[in-house]
A = this chain, B = another copy of it.
Amino acid sequence: MIVVVNNSASQEQFDNLVSWIEAQDVKLHFSRGETHTVIGLVGDTTKIDTELLEGLDIVSQVTRVSDPFKNANRKFHPEDTVIEVGNTKIGGGHFALIAGPCSVESEEQIVAVAQAVKAAGATILRGGAFKPRTSPYDFQGLRAEGLALLLTAKKETGLPIITEIMDADHIPLFEDVDIIQVGARNMQNFELLKELGKTKKPILLKRGLANTLKEFLMSAEYVMSEGNENVILCERGIRTFETYTRNTLDISAVPMLKELSHLPVVVDPSHASGVSRLVKPLSLSATAVGADGLMIEVHNNPQYALCDGPQSLTPEQFEDTATAVKKVLAALR
């Protein structure tokens, strides 16, 4: 870490700062210039709060040389993390194809979709039971009943299931769920992350709409620092000025996250675009860029289209997409 101090600081201010830093168990190097003095901090600076330093009038800049995340950091864990779910794996060369409806609506619906996506090559079933909606007047999901229907679909097809949690109090309900999803709006719900860190469940953590990669990895760190190393990162689009697509898929985040961290990275092209016509090209794009998997919305019944989002594929479209994804995977192997 580098701290740049204005030479206009009084000797007393400077000495106070130096003693405070020394108390953090790091070594200091000084480089005095005409207008500024640069202090280099050597040692474990993970726990030094840069905001506090930046707040001092005499400090003009603070720059981290090393990353503030540790458990998630590839530097300290060079091999890819591989997460096992049922008899499928994610990461380290294992590609996950997660598919299913936005919301679980009925046993008939979820079982039919589960069978269709399994036939088309999906390895994990997704489906929403607890639904975070912008409006309190919109459908909030079948909640506990939806979880029960997902478990039925799991039994019928053998597919492991993933579904979203919205409150730490609900953790007991997720006992038979294979992967617990934390949605974008809860990426910095730190109390929830800590509680999930106390379980051993794989956690799929979605990137917040306006969160940097560093914040994203710090949220993974919240789960991991409590002892749960089974975190899957999910890029699902960020908020920008562009309005043709609902969000802007940050495709560069995939190779960047895989460089910074050993955790698997999957992409959700359905939420990233909000447009079903873009799901196939974005799936191919994410596969080619090096993602460890895809999470795709699929609905089964054209006449129910009104209740599926604008971003859902039919099972036929999903099969077509899955086939093309496999071609890209094969070409790059």
Let me know if A92 is at the binding interface, CB within 8 A. Answer: no
> Which of these, B189, B252, B289, B306, contacts A185 with CB under 8 Å?
B189
Residues of B within 8 A of A308 (CB): 52, 55
CB closest chain-B residue, reference A242: B212
Let me know if A93 is at the binding interface, CB within 8 A. Answer: no
Number of copies: 4
Q: A2-B4, A244-B256 are in contact. Are A210 and B185 (CB under 8 A)?
A: no
Digitize A37-55: 1 where CB-to-B-CB distance is under 8 Å, 0 elsewhere.
0101010001101011111
Residues of B within 8 A of A42 (CB): 33-34
Complex formed: what's the CA distance from A305 to B57 in Å?
A: 9
Let me know if A179 is at the binding interface, CB within 8 A. Answer: no
Considering the complex, which residues of chain A in the window 275-299 have a beta carbon less than 8 Å from any beta carbon of chain B?
276-278, 281-282, 284-290
Q: A241-B240, A255-B278, A327-B332 are in contact. Are A33 and B38 (CB under 8 A)?
A: no
Interface 9-mer from A81-89, A113-121, A131-139: A131-139
Let me know if A158 is at the binding interface, CB within 8 A. Answer: no
User: Across the interface, do B310 and A54 meet the contact criterion of CB distance under 8 Å?
Assistant: yes
User: Across the interface, do A49 and B138 meet the contact criterion of CB distance under 8 Å?
Assistant: yes
Digitize A188-210: 1 where CB-to-B-CB distance is under 8 Å, 0 elsewhere.
11111010000000000000111
Known A31-B38, A136-B226, A284-B332; 19 more pairs at CB < 8 Å = A29-B33, A51-B310, A52-B306, A52-B310, A55-B312, A56-B305, A57-B305, A60-B65, A69-B135, A136-B218, A166-B189, A168-B169, A186-B189, A209-B210, A212-B242, A248-B248, A252-B272, A285-B285, A287-B288
27 contacts between A and B (CB under 8 A): A2-B2, A2-B4, A29-B31, A29-B32, A29-B33, A31-B31, A33-B65, A38-B40, A49-B139, A52-B306, A52-B310, A54-B310, A68-B135, A132-B188, A132-B190, A133-B190, A136-B190, A136-B194, A136-B222, A136-B225, A186-B188, A240-B241, A252-B273, A255-B278, A259-B277, A330-B331, A331-B331
